[in-house]
Amino acid sequence: MADLKRLQVRAIEEAMAYPRGHGYVLDFSDRTMREFFEDEFGVDIYSEENRANGSSKRNCLSTFLLRTDQQTALRVLRALWDRREGLLESLPNSEEAQAARTKSKAFQQVIEALQENEPAPLTTQGVEAFTRDRTLEELVADIERTLAANKPEVAIDHLHTYCMKKFAHLLEVRGQTCDKDEPLHSRFGRYRKCLEAEQSLHEFTSRALKSFISLLESFNDLRNNHSLAHDNELLSPTEARFIFSSVSAILVMLRALESSRYGN
């Protein structure tokens, strides 16, 4: 969850009071605030959980920020900052806007504090176009764009598709074919056997490869039930980061093993 202190929450609430007053959030009506959070963040700001401390716009926003993860809180606050700045610029010389400017610094400091603890962006290390294939190239490019937007939860589906193509390719270069419906963990299991037959692997590496089978079987479930592959509830960004990093680590290790196969 976002590590917001009471003074920080109060600074947010005071900044959001412009221009409609205490209890409001900027210039939002009930309808436009609902639409803003649904369209921009896929969030029901008036859900039962977000109304736990009161149903006003201010209370729903504060409760949501305290419940959500740090990355999402930061995205929301940046978007609210931009909207607030636009409102202030529309009437820069009004007494209300000038008074509201005094609240800007405290609000900006909240954003800066969250940014200091913002996780480093994920990279596509391990995800590469391993053969000439337009679909593969588009897949890799889309994963890169999604990570650049700091949305690992959205990248999960395409990372799974990438892995399916990757292990099909690694089997094909060894003269083995893949049925279209063969699940990811089964493809990897066959590939693991090939690796162990080709190379003298340390016991730790061998055990790690075996453990990856169950991880990738669980990854199948994530793809089917917690990604944009279907109408699913997405993983939290924090958990999605961990999963993406874990699968990427597998791919990086396998790339090294493949290189050693050719003496590189």
pLDDT in tens, 76-97: 999 999 999 999 998 888 888 8
Which pLDDT score is estimated for 31?
96
Question: What mean pLDDT is predicted for residues 108-118?
Answer: 87
Confidence grade of residue 122 (pLDDT, cut at 50, 70, 90): confident
* pLDDT-wise least confident of 121-125, 205-209, 223-227, 259-263: 259-263
Query: Is residue 126 over pLDDT 60?
Result: yes
Which residues does 186 contact at the CB level (< 8 Å), separation at least 6? none
For 170, other C-beta atoms within 10 Å of its C-beta total: 20
Confidence grade of residue 158 (pLDDT, cut at 50, 70, 90): very high
Give the residue, 79 or 241, on which the prediction is more confident.
79
Confidence grade of residue 10 (pLDDT, cut at 50, 70, 90): very high
Which pLDDT score is estimated for 104?
93
Query: Is residue 69 over pLDDT 90?
Result: no
Query: Is residue 224 over pLDDT 70?
Result: yes
CA 146 → CA 42, 77, 224, distances in Å?
Answer: 16, 20, 19
Report percent pLDDT > 70 for the chain: 97
Global pTM? 0.63
Here the tokens at position 190 are 């066959």
DSSP three-state, residue 20: coil
Question: How many Å apart are CA 75 and CA 92, to the nearest integer?
Answer: 25
* pLDDT-wise least confident of 21-25, 83-87, 238-242: 238-242
Confidence grade of residue 149 (pLDDT, cut at 50, 70, 90): confident
DSSP three-state, residue 164: helix
Which pLDDT score is estimated for 261?
64
Question: How many Å apart are CA 219 and CA 113, to the nearest integer?
Answer: 34
Question: What mean pLDDT is predicted for residues 194-215?
Answer: 94
Please name the residue that has the structure tokens 């921009």.
Answer: 40
Confidence grade of residue 1 (pLDDT, cut at 50, 70, 90): low
CB 212 within 8 Å of CB 220: no
For 176, other C-beta atoms within 10 Å of its C-beta total: 14
Query: Is residue 167 over pLDDT 60?
Result: yes
Which pLDDT score is estimated for 264?
44
